[in-house]
Structures are given as C-alpha cells and as structure tokens.
Structure 1
Amino acid sequence: MTPVHAAKAALRRPLFRLGMIIAGVALILDQLTKLWVLHGIRLPYRFQRKIEISGIFDLTYTENRGVSFGLFAGGMSSRVLLSLLSIIVSGFIIRWLMTIQRPVTAAGAGLILGGAIGNLIDRVFYGYVVDFLDFSGLGFPYIFNVADAAINVGVALLLFDALWLERKGKAKDQAGL
C-alpha cells in the first residue's frame, strides 16, 4: 500500500480522526495562548516578566531552550536536534494513530502530537519554547505551557490505558465476556 493509500484509509478510521482532531485542538490552544502572552498582554516586556494572579498561580514569561521543564538546554545544535526529534516523534505518532484501537489511546496520542507540534513551531520560529504557566505557589518549580500540559496529560492517558484499560479488557476476554 502506498503512503497516499494508507493516508486515505487512515482518514476513514474514526479513531485516527479523533486523535488528529484532538491534536489540532491542542495545537491551536497552545499557539493562541502563546500569541496572547507575546502580543496580547506582552508579557516579555513587563517588569519582571510576570503577572501575579493568585497565591498559587502566576503568568511568568520564560524562554525554554531545552525540552520539558528546561532539560537539555543548549545552543543552536540542541535547537536543531530537538526540532528533528520532534518531527520524527510526530511522524511515528501519526503512523501509530493509523492503527490505534481504543479511544483513550487515540486521545492520548493526539494530545502528545498536538503538544509536540506546538513546541516545534516555537523552536523553529523563535529558537526557544515560550513558557508562561507558573504554579510555583503550589511548590511546583517549573514554568510550562499548554503544549507541555497536553503532552503530560497525553502520556498519563496512555499509561492509564496501558495499565488499567488494557488489563481490564484482557480480564474480560479471559472470562469469556
């Protein structure tokens, strides 16, 4: 089957469409919130790059040049390497979405895909990822964005599916239900 035929067949699969729609929503929300932070409230240009909202949550602008939570930050070589890694991971997730059999798995994969592409767009256009969600009032030391949240929720859904739903399905099969 050619890649074009495989893509057409995938588009007819409801779970592939579900995953892609969720990816699109996560991507759009991520990019809209980043545009709002950069150009709406102009957070990078405010004193201390911060807006205090409450005792537990603030908007704090940071430029993340690494992966999630600033890990592996570096110069141009890490930017290119992380961008290529995002493209490769996104390709694998799209390919995997073509075979997914459960809605929770499709939702998790879609969230990871949307978040990965959202952060990829930042890395390509800005050279860093725009982060601004600050829950340090809860003791959480990292500043993140909607894409990071989507990726983490997506991973949690995949773990839930693998550890709970898949096991539950196998138990039903063994019981003959």
Structure 2
Amino acid sequence: MSHDETETDNQQPRRLRLLFSVAAIVLALDVATKIIAVAALEDREPVRLLGGAVYLALYRNPGAAFSMATGMTWLLTIVAITVVVVIIRLSRNLRSLPWALGLGLVLGGALGNLIDRLFRAPGPMRGHVVDFVSLFAPDGSVWPVFNVADPAIVGGAAFLVVLTFLGYDPDGQRHSKKENADNEGKR
C-alpha cells in the first residue's frame, strides 16, 4: 500500500465524522428549537425581535417554502427520504472535507424536516413541519417562515453548488474549467 493510499484511508473516518457530526448538530438544534417553539409560541401572538426584522410565530407547514406543494406532504416525505439515502450512499466514497460539511448540513436539515413529516400531526407521511422564524413580517408574507433545518438545507446545497462550480468533486479530485472543456471537446 502506498503512502497516498494510507493517507486517504486514514482521512476517510475524519470526513465521515465531520459529515455525521454536522448532521447531528443541525438535527439536534432543529429538534430542540421546534420543541421550544411549540411550547412557547402555541396560541400566542408573534414575538417581534430586532425592531421587526425578525418575528417568532408558530406555523405548521403542510408544504414546502412559500406554501408550495401544500397537500403533497407525502411526496415531500419521499423526496426527503431519497435525499437522506443518497447522502448516506455518497458518503462511502467521500474524500473531501468541504463536501462532508455541505452534505452534513443538507443531511441534518433533511432529517429534521423528515422527522416532522413522519411523526407530527396529522399523521405519518403527512405531518406538518414546524416553522417559527419569519423575516420582516409575522405572517411570512415577505419571506417564508422557516426553522433551523431550512437554512441548513439551502446553505449546504448552495455550498455544494459552489464546490461543483469550482471543480471540487466529492471524491477529493479537483478539475479545472479548462480540463472540463478539454474533456468535453474529446467526446
């Protein structure tokens, strides 16, 4: 076994630890803040913070952001399960710390919202996601009401897009734009 192979083998557990640690932190924060939000905000007027830039108001969302896909909770549940499975499968070949971070954010957020869809009312595969942070308006009319999982998913996905654009692959390889263009020209 060469020195390079040994280094890669030793780095794999570190990358997996990062991925699953980030996912666990996001999941724990999401679940804890949802429990607090339900306990503190149920049947209460929105709480205004930062001069009205942020409001805390409890919403149970049967759809996705901006109330899209309302009534399609079962489909959103299947999408979340698929995302979780794909990330876990992708983790087996993960060789990049930045990708581990991005995937950990997406995994933790997807699990947080998936737990709501599976275990909250009105029932399994139809559960409504607890959202409680609103920007600039208490009713979500300016920006969708969200929870901790949502910016983790969006931020993690955006980070992965940037990594891809910059030529970083999950396997740790880096490809320049010129290399990609040369390879496309050879096909």
CA 1:101–1:69: 2 relative to 1, 3 Å: farther
| Large movers: runs of 4+ above 6 Å | none
Match of 1:162 among 158, 161, 164: 164
Match of 1:93 among 87, 92, 102: 87
Does 1:66 find its partner at 2:60? no
The C-alpha deviation readout for 1:14-42, integer Å capped at 9, x for no partner, is 21221111111100000000001012x1x
CA 1:30–1:111: 2 relative to 1, 3 Å: same
Structure 2 SS opposite 1:143: coil
Superposed displacement of residue 163, structure 1: 1.2
Equivalent in the alignment of 1:13: 13
Structure 1 runs not aligned, ≥5 long: 1-8
Q: What RMSD, in angstroms, separates the aligned Cα atoms of the two structures?
A: 2.6
Number of residue equivalences: 157
Equivalent in the alignment of 1:52: 48
Q: Distance in 2 between matches of 1:164 and 1:140?
A: 32
Identity in percent: 34
Equivalent in the alignment of 2:36: 36
Q: Distance in 2 between matches of 1:68 and 1:94?
A: 25
Match of 2:143 among 128, 141, 154: 141
Structure 2 SS opposite 1:82: helix
- Structure of larger gyration radius: 2
How does the TM-score come out when normalised to structure 2? 0.75
Structure 2 SS opposite 1:61: strand
Q: Which structure shows the bigger proportion of residues in helix conformation?
A: 1
- After TM superposition, the structure 1 = structure 2 runs for residues 115-154 of structure 1, keeping only pairs within 5 Å, are 115-126=109-120, 127-136=127-136, 140-154=142-156
The answer to whether the 8 A contact 1:27-1:115 is kept is yes
How does the TM-score come out when normalised to structure 1? 0.79
- After TM superposition, the structure 1 = structure 2 runs for residues 66-85 of structure 1, keeping only pairs within 5 Å, are 66-74=63-71, 78-85=72-79
